[in-house]
Amino acid sequence: MEVDSTAVPRRTTRQIFVGDVPVGGGAPITVQSMTITKTADVDGTLQQIYALAAAGADIVRCTCNETAAAEGLAQIVPRSPVPIIADIHHQYKMALAAMEAGVQGLRLNPGNIRRADHIRAVATEARDRAIPIRIGVNAGSLDPALYEKYGGATPEAMVESAKHEIGYFDEVGFDLIKISVKASSVPLMVEAYRQLSEVTDYPLHLGVTEAGPPPAGLVKATAGIATLLLEGIGDTIRYSLTADPVEEVRAGRQLLEALGLRERKNVDLIACPSCGRAEVDVIEIANRAMEAFEDRKLPLQIAVMGCVVNGPGEARDADLGIAAGNSRGHLFVKGQNVAVVPEDEMVDQLVEWAEFITEHGVEAALARVDLVKAAREAERDRARLLDDQGSDANHSAEKIVEIRKATAGGA
């Protein structure tokens, strides 16, 4: 699946590089996450970084809150499969130490490092080393003066915080900048990014901070991030979930693929919500299929439908699908029936056919079977199911007669 050419045009931004990963300037929107290990635990942190990269993370952030963490970064960075950003809060010297350790980027919270000389010192060193900095504004940690000026955390206060930090960077000629204005309130976050996008062309990092655990956290984060992406705003994203960070990466990748903003690398499993027509447990089969495909890099859309009468037609655009009947399922490729399989083989057959299509293509898959024979078998199976269930459960013919009697003679 290619990037969707019909997607909303993206806001034009400058481009920076985090290591060898481009951000902004029309580059693919990147997915980020953050390790939850102690950075001084080099092996544990690297293990998590590799897991995040395998799940689709383009960039990973690690905390650098003490000297031991900076020393850990010196060992982590050269062994990492993706660029590493150091997360800095109150100690500006940790930013200097992280750059010495070789990180490819920094994240500074302007609400926590406020002394102008400290900010300029970090920006000067970053300028000389060509290391980008994210200005990470957070609604919960603004400069107290901004809370007082605006009467609390407002979009205007957050944008002013970012602009104030840019001013310090401008003084030393540093412009390798990306910006975030995160909040745990979705409406606040969305409006802050909208306002920020009107006053700067630096690339923007999107996120709803402290979104919480799934599923509520997924809903909140998606509501904020997707809203902005569909307006063309955003160059890199992070889901901030109270969960294994691998879940953040999976969510980010799935969102970008669903919006047509990144090329599909994993299965897009679509499934009907089930109904009274279903002859099998659609939810259970869909969950088993999701589990079976979870770690397979198969860039296909696969459908699990609960009705052999309507399923193949409703999911005709899927690369591959199964429509379940009474203890059996109709396997179809691009809407064409290719086999009728027993219920206990449905998921295994989906996996086998998906791997074949990925390797050999749809045409080769269709050439494996006698399509006319498969269609006839499927049609006979549908006819039997309709006969079993009753093709006119609503007795429409009788009802039509009664309707005509009731309306005869006009008003």
Q: Strands 205-206 and 236-237, how do they pair?
A: parallel
334, pLDDT greater than 60: yes
Least confident of 38-47, 163-172, 176-185, 288-297: 288-297
Q: Which of 102, 34, 97, 35 is nearest to 66 (CA)?
A: 97
Residue with tokens 């859309």: 301
The CATH code that applies to domain 15-258 is: 3.20.20.20
Residues 266-295, mean pLDDT to the nearest whole number? 83
390, pLDDT greater than 60: no
Pinpoint the residues of the chain covered by CATH 3.20.20.20: 15-258
Confidence of residue 245 (pLDDT cuts 50, 70, 90): very high
The CATH code that applies to domain 268-389 is: 3.30.413.10
Kind plus residue range of the DSSP H or E element containing 32: strand 30-34
**Structure confidence by residue, pLDDT tens digits, 55-65:** 999 999 999 99
Cα-based torsion angle of the residue sequence 334, 340, 345, 349 in order, rounded to the nearest 10 degrees: -30
Confidence of residue 371 (pLDDT cuts 50, 70, 90): confident
Q: What is the pLDDT of residue 221?
A: 98
Q: What is the DSSP letter of 204?
A: B
How many residues in total does the chain contain? 411
Read off φ and ψ for residue 368, nearest 5 degrees. -70, -20
Confidence of residue 7 (pLDDT cuts 50, 70, 90): low
Least confident of 130-139, 155-164, 285-294: 285-294
Confidence of residue 296 (pLDDT cuts 50, 70, 90): confident
Q: What is the pLDDT of residue 279?
A: 64
Pinpoint the residues of the chain covered by CATH 3.30.413.10: 268-389
pLDDT > 90: percent of the chain: 70
The answer to whether 229 and 259 are in contact (CB under 8 A) is yes
316, pLDDT greater than 90: no
Angle between helices 216-229 and 245-258 (to 10 degrees): 40
Q: What is the pLDDT of residue 145?
A: 95
The answer to whether 35 and 61 are in contact (CB under 8 A) is yes
Read off φ and ψ for residue 254, nearest 5 degrees. -60, -40
**Structure confidence by residue, pLDDT tens digits, 20-42:** 999 999 999 999 999 999 999 99
Task: Find how far residue 10's CA is from the centre of its chain.
Answer: 17
**Structure confidence by residue, pLDDT tens digits, 253-280:** 999 999 999 998 889 998 887 776 666 7
Q: What is the pLDDT of residue 278?
A: 64
Beta bridge partners of 212: 241
395 C-beta neighbours (distance < 10 Å), count: 10
Write the DSSP assignment of 114-152 as a string of letters.
--HHHHHHHHHHHHHHT--EEEEEEGGG--HHHHHHHTS
Confidence of residue 386 (pLDDT cuts 50, 70, 90): low
Residues 63-69, mean pLDDT to the nearest whole number? 97
Q: What is the DSSP letter of 10?
A: P
Write the DSSP assignment of 299-348 as a string of letters.
--EEEEES-TTTHHHHTTTSSEEEEE-SSEEEEEETTEEEEEEEGGGHHH
Q: Which of 43, 50, 78, 58 is nearest to 263 (CA)?
A: 58
3-state secondary structure of 179: strand
More confident position, 11 or 7:
11
385, pLDDT greater than 80: no
392, pLDDT greater than 60: no
Q: What is the pLDDT of residue 261?
A: 95
Residues 176-205, mean pLDDT to the nearest whole number? 98
3-state secondary structure of 111: coil
Mean pLDDT taken over the chain: 90
**CA-based torsion, 66, 69, 74, 80: positive or negative:** negative
Q: What is the pLDDT of residue 265?
A: 86
Angle between helices 92-101 and 116-129 (to 10 degrees): 10
